[in-house]
Amino acid sequence: MPLFSPVTKAEIIICRDVEALSRRAAEQFISLARAAMAAHGNFTVALSGGSTPKALYSLLATEEFSAQLDWRRIHLFFGDERCVAPDHAESNYRMVHESLLAKIAIPGANVHRLRGEDPPPLAAQAYEAELRRHFGAAALPRFDLALLGLGEDGHTASLFPGSLALNEVAGWVAAAYVEKLSAHRLTLTFPLFNNVAQVSFLVAGASKAGVLAAILQDSTADYPAARIKPNAGGLTWFVDHAAAEQLASPALN
Ligand code: 6PG
């Protein structure tokens, strides 16, 4: 039985552990893919980096789930990327390739990589052009699904506290220096994420319990992830018991 946040009205699905969370998210992925393909012939997804989303990708790559998907009609984009080469240990593309892309029959043209190896401003410009090519002259791209993780500091994608990317409202892709990482990051911006048809967060582990409770229960919480509120779309938090530890269930209906 899902719960709902009194603050964000988001659906909260609490699962036993990260495996159960990944399974619920994979079931949602299949369901959304079927609906999107029936509605407009393809399914466009913005992927997240991080270890929790990685567990979902590994599950989607299994025969049980992969065989239910027509990868020829699925387009995979990246919600953010580190400014490194695609074969670098830190690369989100490398993580997605190892956990999913190398195990499924998806056409290369359907995988839209954020070029972390390029100068960040050029990579951001090039990705905006890629988005325009895929979504057409749409005022704002509308992904069918965006998968997101949550950092202990309340970041999501590469929208970090204090980052200039938080204030980007005209651009679709931001290249911003992240002080705490001493590195640049590439990220889709709030206007894009908040135009997505379905945003699903994947959050596991006790270290996320405090920030998750703040985002879902404290209307004054000012974390970047709290600003993800799809204008006309769904918002679901798939969380494990450890991350949900501080959720005051009576506060959730
Ligand atoms: C990244 C992700 C980032 C990640 C969170 C949570 O590039 O690292 O986009 O936003 O999702 O840091 O990561 P974990 O699930 O590994 O805690």
Residue 188's pLDDT is what?
98
For the four alpha carbons of 150, 151, 154 and 155, in that order, the dihedral sign comes to negative
Helix boundaries (H) for the chain: 18-40, 51-60, 63-66, 92-99, 120-135, 190-193, 209-217
Find the 39 Cα to ligand 1 centroid distance in Å: 31
User: Whole-prediction pTM value?
Assistant: 0.96
What atom of ligand 1 comes closest to residue 48's alpha carbon? 9
What atom of ligand 1 comes closest to residue 52's alpha carbon? 15
* Number of residues that make up the chain: 253
What atom of ligand 1 comes closest to residue 159's alpha carbon? 10
Sites in the chain below the pLDDT cut of 50: 250-251, 253
Ligand 1, pocket-test mutation among 45, 155, 200, most atoms within 8 A of CB: 155
Which residue's alpha carbon is nearest to atom 14 within ligand 1?
A: 50
DSSP letters, 167-205, are G--S-SEEEEEEGGGTEEEEEE-HHHHTT-SEEEEEE-S
CB 224 within 8 A of CB 155: yes
Residue 253's pLDDT is what?
47
Residue 249's pLDDT is what?
64
Site residues for ligand 1, CB cut-off 6 Å? 48-52, 80, 92, 149-151, 155-158
What atom of ligand 1 comes closest to residue 185's alpha carbon? 7
Find the 49 Cα to ligand 1 centroid distance in Å: 5
Show the tokens assigned to 125: 């410009």
Domains in the chain and their CATH numbers? 3-240 (3.40.50.1360)
Find the 91 Cα to ligand 1 centroid distance in Å: 12
Which residue's alpha carbon is nearest to atom 2 within ligand 1?
A: 49
Residue 1's pLDDT is what?
61
Find the 190 Cα to ligand 1 centroid distance in Å: 16
